[in-house]
Structure formats: structure tokens, C-alpha cells
């Protein structure tokens, strides 16, 4: 009979995949938890520990180094993974008793190929427990970037950038927000059901949903559970999507009958939202450079009952002369992703500062290429799930300097009144610590009609 995994064993498997194979945290967890017969509470704890370890990895390694009296990266790989799980519970999970954090960590190593190192793991855990309050944290007064970096587990180069741009308080608020779980939001598929009907349907299926804060089709889910296993999901009544992403499609504001290009479409959340706003009338060409990701777009279209989307494996930079002209173009461009760290904590460890400049070059090329295939009077919405200036305002500024027939069109009508002061010269910046949504930049560019 197949052994049932407990929460910490499942978390260890997921963390090993993330470290060894470069797997995305959500996919690693989904694969492991989806194939195991586990108590739902164990699944939730496994997910919480895994996300927590990845979120605080740098700080956990520093703490482990202090307690073990040797650099964390000199420890055996499996021992380090096990200690990260133990230290996360010890330092960040209040509801797990300290004794349970220690005991389960020792059991975890005993059940591995490195069971002979159980006494070492036990000693490190007990030492950390004894010295929990006396670790030599950096002084904020001596080096604020180092202090905030270690306290909130973000790369120091990124913290330094934000300190110079936002100052101490805003930076600390942003770091704190990035370490808190993002709300789970869904987009009602109004092609098939209304929001009130979906709220009632979800209630019947044991899920509480309340209206979102900005877009009319958004619902916030209260409580956990796997939404993709619900009958309402399989019936195409909703799409799991962040509200910032929904706002992007709203700002583009396509009309029924329009010809629309989604230049970077996979996995199809925005593509299908555009179709919904068009009442499934018109034409949407959905591009992506990865065929396997376009399959996700097609799958979402089928599930949601969208039939006006045509996918094409193509780089939007090569679309001129190939696809004709469009009324509306959405460019949710590849970016550093720092606005969604709370959903994807692994990306803050994989990104480097030099990536920002490389990405900005690609973003400018994409935007310039899209301008060549936009009709007079048409609209391009350029969006990123990051707020770094090189990828946002500076891209739009450079674009406008070469395209005098374009102007930024402020998205006033799509925003709550209290957010209007967030609209800058080149677009709107959304932040998790201010707007309680994913960090996003959205710029609406209107072409003159002549």
C-alpha cells in the first residue's frame, strides 16, 4: 500500500523540485499535492510551509548559518532543505509549537537517506530554540538596506533600489506586503453567468465569494481549497485571475466587433477577458512564442465558451506585414515580475539587476513593433507586473519620443476616485501595499485618427 505523505514530507518533495529542477513553486506543489491522498489540512500546511520557505529562504539560511556555526551553503543539500522547513516553523509559524517544529524536523531527516545526520539536525534545531532571541541581526542605523533585506528576505540590491525611490517607510510597507499571501480572486465569465448567480453557485459548492474592489466581474474568494476542482470552474463560470490583470483588459476597452491583438497572450486570462468584454463578437489574434503555452490559451477558451480567438505561435516583433491591422492591441510584456512577488516568491531569488535592462530592450522592441500594425484612432495598452522605471515609465517615454502620433490616454473612467492620484504622466502604477492588488503598470496609448 502506498504510504501517505505528511505535510512536511510533501513540502520537502516540492522544495527539492524547486531547487534541483528549477520548477515553479505553484506547479511543483500542484503536481505533488494533486497526486497524493492527503488530509486537506496537511495539504494546506504543506503549501504554507513551501511558500514560507521560498519566501524567507535567504533569511532562513542566515539563521541556519548562525545556529550551525557554518555557512548554510556548506551543508548537505537534503540537510539544508530539512532545516529550512524546521526553521520556518520555528521562526515564522506561530501556530506550530516549538517542540513540534523541532521533533518533526528530526523525524524528517530520519526518514531520508541522511538519517545518520539526525543528531546534527537535532542539535542545530535545539540550539536555534535556545538562542532564538540573541541572533546578531544587522543594525538598521548602520546599514538600512542590509537590515531590511535580511528582515524581509529580499535581495539587497532590490531593497537598495526601492529605498532610493520610495524612502524607508514605503519600502518597508512594500516588503511586508510582498511577504503576505495575496488574495485569491476570480473573474466571473459573464458570457455564461452573472456575478450574483456565481456567488450563489459557489456558496452551494461550499465556497464564499464577495465582490472585488475595482472591476465589476471580480470576486474575492474567502477561505482555501482547490478552485479548479469545482464544478463551477469546469463549467466555465469563472477564471482565476488577479484584479490588476483584469483592470488591464478593462483599460483596453475593446468593443464587440473589434479586431484585437493580444501580443503576449499565454496562458489566456486576459485573452478570454477581452473576448468577454467584446461579448464574444469580433476577432482576437492571440500570440505567444511558446506553442505549449498557446495550448493553455486554447484550453481556457474552450472551457469558457470563447470562440473568437485564433492563436498563432509568433513573436509580436515579427507581426508587421503578417497579420494585418488592429483596432486594439494588448501588450502584457515579459518583465521582471517584481509586482507579483507575493504570488511568486521564487522569482526574487532568480532575477538579477542586469535582467531589468535586458527586459526593457525587449519591451521597447515589442511596443515599437505593435505601433506598426495599429489602425489610426486605435489603442495600445502596455502593461507589466512590475514597477521598475526602466520597464515602465522609461519605455513609454522613449516610445513617445519616436511616435508623435501617439499620446497617453489617462484611464480615469476605469479607476476608483481614490486612485486617481496614482496616475502618472505615462500610466498608472499599482502597488500591493497601497492598492491591495498585484503590483502593475498600465499605460493606455491612443493613436491619432489622421
Choosing from 102, 195, 335, 385, the catalytic residue is 385
Any catalytic annotation for residue 385?
yes
Q: What are the C-alpha distances in Å from 129 to residues 80, 87, 100, 101?
A: 17, 9, 12, 10
Active site residues: 385
Amino acid at each position: 500500500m502506498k504510504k501517505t505523505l505528511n505535510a512536511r514530507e510533501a513540502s520537502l518533495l516540492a522544495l527539492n523540485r524547486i531547487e534541483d529542477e528549477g520548477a515553479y513553486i505553484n506547479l511543483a506543489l500542484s503536481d505533488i499535492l494533486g497526486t497524493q491522498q492527503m488530509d486537506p489540512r496537511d495539504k494546506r500546511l504543506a503549501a504554507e510551509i513551501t511558500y514560507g520557505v521560498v519566501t524567507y529562504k535567504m533569511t532562513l539560511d542566515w539563521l541556519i548559518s548562525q545556529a550551525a556555526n557554518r555557512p548554510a551553503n556548506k551543508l548537505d543539500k537534503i540537510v539544508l532543505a530539512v532545516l529550512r522547513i524546521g526553521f520556518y516553523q520555528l521562526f515564522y509559524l506561530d501556530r506550530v509549537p516549538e517542540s513540534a517544529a523541532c521533533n518533526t524536523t528530526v523525524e524528517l531527516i530520519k526518514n531520508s537517506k541522511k538519517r545518520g545526520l539526525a543528531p546534527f539536525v537535532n542539535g542545530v534545531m535545539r540550539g536555534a530554540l535556545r538562542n532564538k532571541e540573541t541572533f546578531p541581526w544587522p543594525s538598521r542605523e548602520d546599514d538600512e538596506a542590509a537590515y531590511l533585506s535580511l528582515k524581509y528576505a529580499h535581495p539587497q540590491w532590490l531593497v537598495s533600489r526601492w529605498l532610493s525611490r520610495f524612502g524607508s517607510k514605503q519600502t518597508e510597507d512594500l516588503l511586508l506586503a510582498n511577504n503576505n499571501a495575496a488574495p485569491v480572486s476570480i473573474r466571473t465569465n459573464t458570457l455564461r453567468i452573472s456575478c450574483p448567480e456565481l456567488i450563489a453557485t459557489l456558496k452551494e459548492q461550499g465556497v464564499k465569494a464577495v465582490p472585488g474592489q475595482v472591476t465589476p466581474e471580480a470576486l474575492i474568494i474567502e477561505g482555501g481549497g482547490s478552485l479548479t476542482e469545482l464544478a463551477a470552474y469546469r463549467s466555465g463560470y469563472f477564471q482565476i485571475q488577479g484584479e490588476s490583470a483584469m483592470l488591464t483588459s478593462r483599460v483596453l476597452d475593446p468593443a464587440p466587433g473589434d479586431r484585437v491583438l493580444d501580443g503576449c497572450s499565454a496562458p489566456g486570462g486576459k485573452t478570454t477577458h477581452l473576448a468577454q468584454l467584446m461579448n464574444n463578437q469580433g476577432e482576437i489574434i492571440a500570440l505567444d512564442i511558446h506553442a505549449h503555452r498557446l495550448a493553455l490559451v486554447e484550453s481556457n477558451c474552450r472551457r469558457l465558451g470563447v470562440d473568437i480567438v485564433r492563436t498563432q505561435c509568433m513573436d509580436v516583433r515579427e507581426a508587421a506585414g503578417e497579420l494585418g491591422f488592429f483596432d486594439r492591441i494588448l501588450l502584457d510584456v515579459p518583465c521582471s515580475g517584481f509586482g507579483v512577488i507575493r504570488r511568486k516568491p521564487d522569482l526574487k531569488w532568480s532575477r538579477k539587476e542586469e535582467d531589468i535592462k535586458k527586459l526593457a530592450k525587449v519591451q521597447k522592441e515589442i511596443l515599437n513593433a505593435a505601433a506598426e500594425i495599429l489602425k489610426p484612432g486605435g489603442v495600445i495598452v502596455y502593461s507589466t507586473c512590475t514597477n521598475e522605471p526602466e520597464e515602465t515609465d522609461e519605455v513609454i517615454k522613449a516610445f513617445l519620443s519616436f511616435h508623435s502620433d501617439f499620446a497617453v490616454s489617462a484611464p480615469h473612467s476605469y479607476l476608483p476616485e481614490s486612485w486617481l492620484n496614482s496616475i502618472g504622466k505615462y500610466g498608472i502604477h499599482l502597488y500591493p501595499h497601497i492598492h491591495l492588488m498585484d503590483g502593475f503598470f498600465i499605460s493606455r496609448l491612443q493613436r491619432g485618427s489622421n
